Structure 1
Amino acid sequence: MKKITIAIDGFSSTGKSTLAKELAATLGYVYVDTGAMYRAVTYFAMQNEYVSEDFLNKEALISQLPNVKLQFQFNSNLGFAEMYLNGENVEQPIRTIEVSRNVSKIAEISEVRTKLVEQQQAMGKDKAIVMDGRDIGTVVFPDAELKIFMNASAETRAQRRFDELIEKGQKVTYDEVLENVQQRDYIDTHREDSPLVKAEGAIEINNSALSKREQFDLVMNLIQEKV
């Protein structure tokens, strides 16, 4: 069966990673969560006090990028690869609301995007990969055989994210999460370098009213058409 590249883009909290993980597991493909990579760089910047909600020392972060080593390591118990930053498993701390508040600012930095896009393209050189993010179909893999663009209302996405954070024991309010979702949408779609847009040839899926199973079956049918 022909191996293809599957690029999944879309707004925050549309379930891109959940879908991509399930697709990769079903197909036997490699899964890459590019959002985790940007979150890891953001976590590094926060740990070194290069960024906060009202502060960004872009030059300091850029100067330290050679010291940012990112790696995915497969966890057989979980069934997917976890994010490691300079040898440390950061899968849990990069998923906090604090990192979410800063990640779009870090993702705006051209030098950060250049570093991560190079790594992402190297990961996908042999195809048989499912990658999700904001610019996969437009920048990382513009020639991907299947491009998906995922969307849902801000309110629906905020509720999903809120439920997820509460389940993990984090203390947040729905209004905080909704504000964060809306801020990230604005930054992601208005940045100068690789703004979030629907790639040419991408198939848009609004999953506000879709179950995870319905969405998975829909995309699997699209994949079968390609392979």
Structure 2
Amino acid sequence: MTETPANNAPVLAIDGPGGAGKGTVSRLLAASLGWHYLDSGALYRILALAAGRKGLQLDDETGVAALAQGLDIGFGTGADDSVWLDGEEVSALIRSEQAGAMASVVAALPAARQALLLRQRAFRQVPGLVADGRDMGTVVFADAVQKVFLTASAQERADRRYKQLIAKGIDVNIGDLLSDINARDERDSSRAVAPLRPAADAAVIDTTGISISRVVSQILELLTDKNVNTQ
């Protein structure tokens, strides 16, 4: 059988705002399909962390873009979801609320986005890729075999994040979380380059009140309908 070239490997692009369930759903789908997984948001969080450590202002587009081109980044494989920067595991550091807010600022820089574009596309390998982010279906993998946009109410997303943080022993105010989510939504959807929005041909799924397993099943059904091998 002829092997599919890496750049023709099928891509399942899953976009949406923070807290919509992209990460959990995408990881489960990648495991179910036996495909590779790209957490594009982690790249921007790592970039923001690296910029801070270098003493760069987050709005220094030239400096941040130059930094992005030479980042020493590593990701765990399979069940290992660790993230590494310059040989140091930074998984916990990049998952903080502050890191998310910083990543949103960096992600608004056109030159930084361009610098990370090829790095993201390099994740496209056989047998396929599940790509999770905010512009996977609109920009990075515009030819994805299936595009999905996950959403949920801001209150639902704040509640989910609150429960996650409390479970980790982190004291947090849900009102502050809701304000942060609304502010990030506004920043992500109004940026000049690759604003957060569903691709024209994306299936939009509102995850409010729906179980993760049901969302995963719905997306697998979409792939089956397009004759994508999900076995």
Query: Common fold, TM-score beyond 0.5?
Result: yes
RMSD: 1.8
Q: Do 1:38 and 1:103's aligned partners in 2 also have CA atoms closer than 8 Å? A: yes
Match of 2:73 in 1: 70
The structure where strand makes up a greater share of residues is 1
Cα offset, 1:125, TM superposition? 4.9
Match of 2:193 in 1: 193
Match of 2:225 in 1: 225
TM-score, L = length of structure 2: 0.89
How has the CA–CA distance of structure 1 residues 127 and 221 changed in structure 2, closer, same or farther, with 3 Å as cutoff? same
Q: Do 1:100 and 1:180's aligned partners in 2 also have CA atoms closer than 8 Å? A: no
Which one of 34, 37, 48 corresponds to residue 31 of structure 1?
Answer: 37
Q: Do 2:146 and 2:202's aligned partners in 1 also have CA atoms closer than 8 Å? A: yes
- One-letter amino acid of the counterpart of residue 159, structure 1: D
Cα offset, 1:59, TM superposition? 4.0
Which one of 41, 45, 55 corresponds to residue 47 of structure 2?
Answer: 41
Q: Deviations over 1:23-61 (max 9, x none)?
A: 01011000111111111111112223334xxx7444443
Which one of 8, 12, 19 corresponds to residue 6 of structure 1?
Answer: 12
Match of 1:170 in 2: 170
Q: Deviations over 1:122-149 (max 9, x none)?
A: 2115461101000000111101010000
Q: Does 1:50 align with 2:53?
A: no
Q: Do 2:51 and 2:67's aligned partners in 1 also have CA atoms closer than 8 Å? A: no
Q: Do 2:19 and 2:161's aligned partners in 1 also have CA atoms closer than 8 Å? A: yes
Q: Does 1:115 align with 2:115?
A: yes
Match of 2:161 in 1: 161
Q: Deviations over 1:181-212 (max 9, x none)?
A: 11110011000111111102100000102111
Partners of 2:190 and 2:159 in 1: CA distance:
24
- One-letter amino acid of the counterpart of residue 17, structure 1: G
TM-score, L = length of structure 1: 0.90
Gaps of 5+ in 1: none
Gaps of 5+ in 2: none
Q: How many pairs align?
A: 220
Moved over 4 A (4+): none
Cα offset, 1:80, TM superposition? 4.0
Q: Do 1:149 and 1:204's aligned partners in 2 also have CA atoms closer than 8 Å? A: yes
Q: Do 2:69 and 2:116's aligned partners in 1 also have CA atoms closer than 8 Å? A: no
Moved more, 130-139 or 109-118: 109-118
Partners of 1:149 and 1:116 in 2: CA distance:
21
Q: Deviations over 1:107-132 (max 9, x none)?
A: 11112111221111121154611010
- One-letter amino acid of the counterpart of residue 221, structure 2: N
Match of 1:17 in 2: 23
SS at match of 2:132: strand
